[in-house]
Structure 1
Amino acid sequence: MRTLKHGVSFVLALSLTACAAQPAPRPVPDDPYYAPAIPEQPTQQATPNGSLFNGEINGLYSDIRARSLGDIITVRLQENTSASKSATTGTSRGTSVNLPTPTVLGRDLSFRGYSLSANLEGSTEFSGDASADQSNRLSGEISVTVIRVLPNGNLIVRGEKWLTLNNGEEYVRLTGMIRPRDVSSDNTVLSNRVANARIEYSGTGSLADTQRQGWLTRFFNGPIWPF
């Protein structure tokens, strides 16, 4: 009966873990969250009056840098990160206790010819080494649109790019905040100049699926597994 209870508990825990370990919904192209912002058209169009000056047209000395809602900015991805960590731990302890044979009236006390002395010794040792190295690199370009202009002039940008390959699709998504002064004259900005940046590079299809662990494997490699 006890074995049956343990078996039911294990199956229940496994089922709950499987439900909690379900993968997130797969990303799809044309996600409304990454859709470009389209500015509203003015309700009244300017009527030509024959003048050479038109306030709706940029001046002769204006540049092409983005500054308004719906404008496009090209972000040059130049991400290089590396981390290294190592740790070494060693501990040891020794204990020794010597209990001589007790005496009574100057004579050693014994029991049936066996001495009552005792000698206890003990020692413990622990040593551990750990090291971790990680490096990542991402380069390329992605064009994003301005979805919001903050009161201080900073620009909130967001966008995605999808590439369809033979065995699936790859995508790059980017969101963040840009200072207009960091945008170069050719309307580009480096990714390390994007504040609060969130860059996502991944893929879908058979190649991406083979690189993901199944839910049962994630369970045995997770912190819930007691062994």
Structure 2
Amino acid sequence: MRLHLLLPAFLALSACSDLKEVGRLPEFTPIESSSETAAMRNPTLPDQIAPRSPADGASLWNASRQSLLGDRRAIERGDILTVVIEIDDSAEMSNTSKRGRSGSETMGISSLFGLPERINEVLPDGASMGSAVGTNSNSSSSGNGSVKRNEKLELMIAATIVDVLPNGVLHIQGTQEVRVNFEIRELLVEGYVRPEDISRQNEITYDKIASARISYGGRGQITQVQQPRYGQQVADIVLPF
């Protein structure tokens, strides 16, 4: 009884949340509450930064990041680097299997102390103990399957170092939202990178990101039309047929 009451209430609340977007542009995600903003507002502690000598401020050739030849690659919490995503994958697989089996068994008792002859007298016409049992079986199966996939994605996104692990590995996270008319395109990237994998241009490719999480999608009127309604989704899960 409770399930019958909770299900309509859940569907009603979901519908109300969608009705708020009628005639309005989809809202951007606030950047103030993001992990990137928190990392920039709480940078690396001073004792974790390499000390600078007094002469560094007056020299063009010192090793500081602000110098003319300094290393400006992202290395500290709150720094920004560019993630280059160039995915061009294709896969094609084809499997075929075929199996067949046949068998035949026959058993009869032609003579056994004269008992089969006595039994044959009481059997119906045409029946005989000479072919008492006979079996025959035949089975065959075949299968054919194929998979063909082609994916291509070329994107660039700015990511922020949100944490520096004890072993020096950097935890990066980046988000990007672009609104075109009534549709927002979202790009999310997250993972772990090594400082030495970051190029001199302060860029890193997606294949050097460990535990990479890359999401490219959108939300808005077009996305809503492409999704099945809540009632249909619930029916697809609940109905056994």
Q: 1:113 aligns with which of 120, 125, 147?
A: 125
Distance 1:139 1:180, change over 3 A: same
Measure how far apart 1:125 and its partner are: 1.2
**1:136 matches 2:136:** no
Contact 2:179 2:185 in 1 (8 A): yes
- In structure 1, the residue matched to 2:40 is 38
Contact 1:69 1:149 in 2 (8 A): yes
Report the Cα distance in structure 2 between the residues aligned to 1:171 and 1:106, rounded to whole angstroms.
85
Runs of 5+ consecutive residues of structure 1 not aligned to the other structure: 1-7, 44-48
Measure how far apart 1:213 and its partner are: 3.6
Compare the two structures and name the one with the higher strand fraction: 1
Compare the two structures and name the one with the higher helix fraction: 2
Q: How does 1:54-73 map to 2 (within 5 A)?
A: 58-73=66-81
Runs of 5+ consecutive residues of structure 2 not aligned to the other structure: 19-26, 47-53
> Aligned partner of 1:83: which letter?
A
Instruction: Tell me the TM-score normalized by structure 2.
Output: 0.66
Post-superposition CA distance 1:91-115 (Å, at most 9, x none): 2222223345756578592534232
Contact 1:163 1:171 in 2 (8 A): yes
Report the Cα distance in structure 2 between the residues aligned to 1:120 and 1:57, rounded to whole angstroms.
87
- Identify the range of structure 1 (93-102 vs 173-182) with the bigger mean alpha-carbon deviation: 93-102
Percent identity between matched residues is 24
Contact 1:94 1:122 in 2 (8 A): yes
Report the Cα distance in structure 1 between the residues aligned to 2:115 and 2:124, rounded to whole angstroms.
18
> Aligned partner of 1:80: which letter?
D
> Aligned partner of 1:115: which letter?
A
3-state SS, counterpart of residue 63 of structure 1: coil
**1:163 matches 2:178:** yes
Instruction: Tell me the TM-score normalized by structure 1.
Output: 0.69
Post-superposition CA distance 1:16-69 (Å, at most 9, x none): xx99xx9xx9996236344432244899xxxxx9x9639997233213221222
3-state SS, counterpart of residue 207 of structure 2: helix
> Aligned partner of 1:90: which letter?
K
Contact 1:101 1:115 in 2 (8 A): no
- Identify the range of structure 1 (192-201 vs 146-155) with the bigger mean alpha-carbon deviation: 146-155
**1:82 matches 2:90:** yes
Distance 1:130 1:28, change over 3 A: farther
3-state SS, counterpart of residue 89 of structure 2: strand
- Identify the range of structure 1 (149-158 vs 201-210) with the bigger mean alpha-carbon deviation: 149-158
Q: 2:104 aligns with which of 91, 96, 107?
A: 96
